A and B are shown apart, each in its own frame.
Chain A
């Protein structure tokens, strides 16, 4: 190489001759190691998220085995597993599970439909927004549980009341997130739509709806857990089937193993629903994955 700096000048920015041929310790010449950035945590390996739950179950099982945890206080995971298996084989579990799932998903479906309709009405017209948005914000501020007394007076203590309350609690996150996404639609896309001269219904279908879809999915992920949460409370009221009923009855008899089975089912359903929504979301919003810049 040419000596640009002159041999008697030392500059930290110029390669110094004497150093060229000596490899730096620990760094193979020419190889740039691709170290993960220290600013962000590395990604967990597949299934790494299971570490915490598995650890908890092991400690719990151990504590039960050596007698620290009495079965009256909390049944061991293995006991709960056996109980769960027995309930499954006898068909009891399926019956209660189906009753719960029917309520939760019926409520979810109705709530999503209402939330979506309200969000569209409020997001796309001024009159809609003026008449709907304030009401939903108020509804949001009132806890679902606080509506139970009125709902019982109006709808009785049967299934209708339960499904209506689930729907009303599901509707809120769907509405809030979809509406916010519609409001926040990229104005540059609106301008483009105008410049290519599309109709209002084409705009709704091809610009507004896809633009609001990410918000809808955020709402849906919240909604699928909300519907099960609401269910837990509602299944304490006048019912003879459902996971919540099963757990309540178990409480009366001190059967902590059945309670644990119920909890496990709620957890599995909540996680499963979330997983299903995320899978659907990834497929529907696949175009975002290819982020280039």
Chain B
């Protein structure tokens, strides 16, 4: 079942600021990769970040995740502790079964039952005791998604999590991500290189170029969002223009 096919009845956004970045700068051996990034994400906001390869998207996401100590830089970042990172690779521990990977570091009294439920949610019921190496690439990605889902984080940071997937699996994963959002309305930062994916899923799209946010647009379209919609088209054209690409290639 495709969650995108139905209109969403989302709970109202919580007021305030969930993620706050002020003048965030990062550089690697003298080369500046993030330049004075200032951003606020509202609670429950779904933000997509697009940009050319090497523009600094992953660097920004890692800074927000707090995984970049040791990197030169300045600025302040305030984020909730309750956050979960979905990496571009599935990053499963090969010596742990699917279930053990999903509940890895998850400290809830009913962790195991919730882990099983999350595995079923991503369509892998029955594979709880399989080794990651025995799964296909798409299945491994789904286990990684289950690992994020089960934590029901307040902030989900996803770095091109669907990049390595075929179009069909991707659509299923979009549906799963939407289910997660419907359940608990986390704040989401989704890094992607797919403009359509960004418009389809996000409340707000950021375009990054050479370490700067060069465009910040609210999507403001009702779900579902067919590509044939004129507003979808218009938004895509302006995003592509900000990326320096024209649509009619």
Contacts and interface: CB of A to CB of B under 8 A. Distances in A.
Interface of A: 188-189, 191-198, 202, 206-207, 210-211, 213, 285-293
28 contacts: A188-B87, A188-B91, A189-B93, A191-B91, A192-B87, A194-B67, A195-B65, A195-B67, A196-B84, A196-B147, A197-B105, A198-B104, A198-B105, A202-B105, A207-B93, A210-B93, A210-B95, A211-B95, A287-B95, A287-B132, A288-B94, A289-B133, A290-B131, A291-B133, A292-B133, A292-B135, A292-B136, A293-B137
In the complex, the 8 A-B pairs of residues with the closest C-beta atoms, listed nearest first: A196-B105, A290-B134, A210-B95, A287-B131, A290-B133, A198-B105, A195-B85, A192-B91
Main secondary structure of the interface of A (DSSP, over half): helix
B232 interface: no
A207 B133 CA distance: 16
Contact count band on B: 20 to 34
A288 B94 CA distance: 7
Contacts, number: 57
A198 B100 CA distance: 14
Contacts of A197: 105
Most chain A CB within a 10 A radius of its CB, from B96, B104, B147: B104
A293 B85 CA distance: 24
B106 interface: yes
A64 B51 CA distance: 80
A191 B105 contact: no
Interface of B: 65, 67, 84-85, 87, 89, 91, 93-96, 104-106, 130-137, 147, 151
Nearest to B94: A287
A29 B85 CA distance: 52
A189 B91 CA distance: 7
Most chain A CB within a 10 A radius of its CB, from B89, B130, B134, B151: B134
Nearest to A198: B105
A197 B134 CA distance: 27
Given A196-B106, A202-B105, A292 B134 contact: yes
Nearest to A287: B131
B104 A195 contact: no
A286 B94 CA distance: 10
A288 to B, nearest CB: 7
